Amino acid sequence: MPNLLGKRYQCEKCGTEVLCNKPGGGAISCCDSDMKIKEVKPLPSSD
């Protein structure tokens, strides 16, 4: 899977986060495994 510009990646083992500022091929890895895209937090409603 290519690295996506502007996405945050997080290591599931140690919690390290990386912000991708240059897209490219390959995978970002940490602790001997590929990092996963961090899920987006929903914004609170403004009701």
- Nearest of 46, 30, 40, 35 to residue 3 by alpha carbon: 35
The answer to whether position 2 is within a domain reads no
The answer to whether position 24 is within a domain reads yes
How many whole angstroms separate alpha carbon 12 and alpha carbon 17? Answer: 10
How many whole angstroms separate alpha carbon 30 and alpha carbon 10? Answer: 9
- As for how many domains the chain has, the answer is 1
> Could you list the residue range(s) of the whole structural domain that residue 14 is in?
8-37
The answer to whether position 13 is within a domain reads yes
How many whole angstroms separate alpha carbon 9 and alpha carbon 36? Answer: 5
The answer to whether position 33 is within a domain reads yes
Neighbouring C-beta atoms of residue 35, cutoff 10 Å: 21
The answer to whether position 17 is within a domain reads yes
CATH of the domain at 23: 2.20.28
Neighbouring C-beta atoms of residue 9, cutoff 10 Å: 20
The answer to whether position 26 is within a domain reads yes
pTM across the whole model: 0.75
Q: pLDDT tens-digit profile of 12-47? A: 999 999 999 988 888 889 999 999 999 888 888 876
